[in-house]
A and B are shown apart, each in its own frame.
Chain A
Amino acid sequence: MAYRFDFASLLDYTPVLVNGVATTVGLTLVGAVLGVGIGIGGAAARSSANAPLRVAVGAYVELIRNTPFLVQLFFIFFGLPSLGVRLPEWQAALLAMVINLGAYATEIIRAGIDATPKGQIEAGASLGMSGPQIFRYIILGPAMGKIWPALTSQIIIVMLGSSVCSQIAVEELSFAANFIQSRNFRPFEVYFVATALYLALAVGLRWLLARLGDRLFARAARA
């Protein structure tokens, strides 16, 4: 009654797996860029003197950080059409991932901004720099350099969270695994390979982001 392993049966479905990996990578890269962009904007808003802006962004952050990603995704994909906004699944998935990463990135980057030594901001002001100039040249670079490892981890979490998007029929890696398993009925082989692929993707992405952080922020972090 021993289970007979049959990894070869997966070879027939290589195109499905490749397509799944490509979709996961695509969603993650675009989602990461947009999400970090929102994070920077959100962090700047939460550090600003404008109280209504602070409160509004704070509300967005708390809402997203305290609700499950799956619920956010279902709301966007199944719920919004009732309000007249019908998004195709990959747009809904991307939007959900960006909104989700944006909230977490806002808090992570805000921590970096708060850690900026007061003296440097005063030095910039004494040189006649405006608020936005101080933010861009003095605050942002070192802040990003300080929190880059934490941000990298959050991006990896969002990449692994993209597996949830299989619930709305986005054909990423988890969907590919479930699909293949429902055709060849070999869950061990299928999910073993899917796990190995996710592991490779996560390790690869972490390495890539570390190199990117070195190039962009290493000098600034040492400041």
Chain B
Amino acid sequence: MRFATILGAVGFATAVLVGGMTGAAQADALERITKEKILRVAVPQDFPPFGSVGTDLKPVGYDIDAAALIAKELGAKVELVPVSSSNRIPYLTTGKVDLVISSLGKNAEREKVIDFSVAYAPFYNGVFGPEASAVEKVEDLNGKTVGVTRGSVEDIELSKIVTDKVTVRRYEDNNGTISAFLSGQVELVATGNVVAAAIFERNPPRLPILKFLIKNSPCFVGLNKDEGPLLEKVNGILTKAKADGSLSAIAKKWLGTPLPKDL
């Protein structure tokens, strides 16, 4: 009796899973979106300025605005699905969402499983400083102080390219680095553009303006494999948004600086 029940339960579960997966692969995603007029997008909920929860518990951020822009161009209503870094790709591959717009970076392992659109958001490490600091490349740093968070990607990359004449001050965490920059204890900071945006948000007396890039790893929209029509449409929308300035407006709002030209 016991064994038959277990067997029945396993059989039932398998049928549900297979049925569910087949269901997800049935229609072309773009067709379905255009017919139902609903675009389901996975967005981050704990990574400002890309996605966080406002005081009214509604998701806000760069990725949410980008999702709204794409949905509008597709003539659909956007349905935001909050995800985390670990489950955003599974949500896409199991058909729970149509697009992943969650500060997703492109790498070879992910390329095997999903497709990427063109870049829609900048995500880079660079050296930032106030307008008055005349720095355009790493050689201009000679004789200046640069703050950086110890052990971070910027720390390791910067240490590779600076000479002895540059004073590098390593703080234990991002807060120390930010405090050092705002209080003027260091002239420039090497950090990610997200941290620079966080500094900008506080409307500080010293503005972190990008001087030069250290490493560039922009964000892409994630789509399921074999969704050619949808991929083409999304790329078209993003390219148009870059050309007519609407994407740059989103970048200015959430990151404090307009889109880099070579995104």
Contacts and interface: CB of A to CB of B under 8 A. Distances in A.
Interface of A: 74, 77-79, 81-82, 86, 88-89, 166-169, 175, 178-179, 182-183
A188 B180 CA distance: 30
Size bracket of the B interface: 10 to 19
A180 to B, nearest CB: 11
B173 to A, nearest CB: 9
Contact of B169 (A82, A89, A182): A89
Contact of A169 (B156, B180, B183, B184): B180
A166 B171 CA distance: 8
Contacts of A74: 179
A168 B176 contact: yes
B242 interface: no
A179 B185 contact: no
Contact of A166 (B172, B179, B184, B185): B172
A91 to B, nearest CB: 11
Given A178-B150, A179-B150, A182-B155, A78 B179 contact: yes
Interface string B158-189: 00000000000111100010011001110000
A169 B151 CA distance: 13
A63 B204 CA distance: 31
Please list the 3 inter-chain residue pairs (A to B) with the smallest Cβ-Cβ separation, ordered nearest first: A182-B151, A81-B183, A169-B169
Given A78-B180, A178-B150, A167 B172 contact: yes
Contacts of A168: 171, 176, 180, 185
Given A179-B150, A182-B151, A167 B183 contact: no
A82 B185 CA distance: 11
A167 B185 CA distance: 13
27 contacts: A74-B179, A77-B183, A77-B185, A78-B179, A78-B183, A78-B185, A79-B183, A81-B185, A82-B183, A86-B184, A86-B185, A88-B185, A89-B169, A166-B172, A167-B171, A167-B176, A168-B176, A168-B180, A168-B185, A169-B147, A169-B169, A169-B170, A169-B171, A179-B170, A182-B151, A182-B155, A183-B156
Contacts of B183: 77-79, 81-82, 86
A175 B151 CA distance: 12
B84 to A, nearest CB: 26
Given A78-B185, A86-B183, A168-B180, 18 more contacts: A77-B183, A77-B185, A78-B183, A79-B183, A81-B184, A89-B169, A89-B185, A166-B172, A167-B172, A167-B176, A168-B171, A168-B176, A168-B185, A169-B170, A169-B171, A169-B176, A179-B150, A183-B156
Nearest to A175: B170
A82 B179 CA distance: 11
B172 A178 contact: yes
A88 B187 CA distance: 12
Contacts of A78: 179-180, 183, 185
A101 B130 CA distance: 38
Nearest to A87: B185
B150 A182 contact: yes
Contacts of B155: 182
Nearest to B171: A169
Contacts of A77: 183, 185
Nearest to B169: A169
B194 to A, nearest CB: 20
B75 to A, nearest CB: 50
Nearest to A74: B179
A182 B169 CA distance: 15
